[in-house]
A = this chain, B = another copy of it.
């Protein structure tokens, strides 16, 4: 279960993507979802996740509602109207960026040297 050092900067956008598709999710659920979707290669740390969620709330991107389920507190996060717009933009921007990086990483000598 080799975690990667590359999550930097992508965490918030990944959260927004999951919230966009799932409607609402709670923190622990997000960690498990990312773990499953990444085939156990990305294990979000709680020390990174919760502060990110709190920041998104402060920014007005998400709202929260607390529930007690099976005797345990859960805090559900969902996108605000502003958040939905922001999510679309962020997701598109990240996809575009990833594609650009892929182009660079897969470029061959000729392509790079003819610049």
Contact residues of A: prevailing secondary structure: helix
- Could you tell me which residues of chain A, from 18 to 35, have a CB within 8 Å of some CB in chain B? 18, 21-22, 32-34
Q: In this complex, what residue of B is CB-closest to A32?
A: B115
Q: How far is the CA of A38 from the CA of B97 in the complex (A)?
A: 9
Q: Are A107 and B9 in contact (CB under 8 A)?
A: no
Q: How far is the CA of A94 from the CA of B42 in the complex (A)?
A: 13
Q: Are A21 and B101 in contact (CB under 8 A)?
A: no
Q: In this complex, what residue of B is CB-closest to A108?
A: B21
What residues make up the interface of A, taking CB atoms closer than 8 Å to B?
A: 4-10, 13-14, 17-18, 21-22, 32-34, 36-39, 41-42, 91, 93-98, 100-109, 111-113, 115
